[in-house]
Amino acid sequence: MPFWSEILAHPLTRGMSLDDPKTTELRTRIIREKGFLRQIYEEWYRLLIGHIPDGGGAVLEIGSGGGFLKEYHKDALASEVFFTPHVDVVFNAMTMPFKAASLKAILMVDVLHHIQEPALFFSEAARCMTKGGRCLLIEPWNTPWARWVYQHLHHEPFNPDGGWGIPSTGPLSGANGALPWILVERDYDLFCRRFPEWRISLVTPMMPLVYLLSGGVSLRSLMPAWTYQWIRRMEGSIIGMERKCGMFAFIILEHL
């Protein structure tokens, strides 16, 4: 970890393992107490929930972690790969404990790039999803700006030249932040051939600055909460800034 990251590390989780469930529990407190960061999550949740399709079936959040999506969608099933006090069910996304065609939406925030074998997840998600159901994802993205930030200022690996899998180092420490971009953009044609039951219907890069300024869940916030809306308006007002420099992307996969 760079020296400056050691200086800015959030005191609640400084020195703790990413794979320790206690770290995830403490991140619940961090997200709620950091007003700037909380507004990012609130925007993400509104975006995801606003694209849940109509019809029957359950809504599942995978990798609920320290988040608070259930405050915005009380009927969503919260899940994690290990037990934490705020989840409804514990499972690995590569083997999902749901009946066929029982889900109408899977929501994921910063999760896909931690799944060791995403091909297994997409097969399982297709089995569990109703026709017309959606996977709704907020994930790191690969733009020149985002790539520099992730490779120089972030603790997770970010390898745009990587394959479809990631090393098995731990449920949260194992990662490739470039994996979502690899799957749905770099290898778009391969994804469509391997998973004809999924259609990549939307990929929207977003947020070139605010998450970096928030410090995320690992670092102290660099900006006070009252500046969030001002900075977000600035990001959106500069033509092409989010598309060319976005650090995240909103992705919609539709089950055919």
Provide the domain count of the chain.
1
Give pLDDT, residue 8.
60
Give pLDDT, residue 65.
83
Three-state SS string over the chain comes to CCHHHHHHECCCCCCCCCCCHHHHHHHHHHHHHCHHHHHHHHHHHHHHHCCCCCCCCEEEEECCCCCCHHHCCCCCEEEECCCCCCCCEECECCECCCCCCCEEEEEEECCHHHCCCHHHHHHHHHHHEEEEEEEEEEEECCCHHHHHHHHHHCCCCCCCCCCCCCCCCCCCCCCCCCHHHHHHHHCHHHHHHHCCCEEEEEEEEECCCHHHHHCCCCECCCCCHHHHHHHHHHHHHCCCHHHHHCCEEEEEEEEC
Per-residue pLDDT for the chain (256 aa), expressed as one digit of tens each? 455 555 566 555 656 677 777 777 777 788 888 999 999 999 999 999 999 999 999 999 999 988 999 999 999 999 999 888 889 999 999 999 999 999 999 999 999 999 999 999 999 999 999 999 999 999 999 999 999 999 988 888 999 999 999 987 777 778 999 999 999 999 999 999 999 999 999 999 999 999 999 988 877 888 999 999 999 999 989 989 999 999 999 999 999 9
Give pLDDT, residue 7.
55
| CATH code: domain of residue 94 | 3.40.50.150
**pTM of the predicted protein model:** 0.93
Domain carrying residue 84 = 3-255
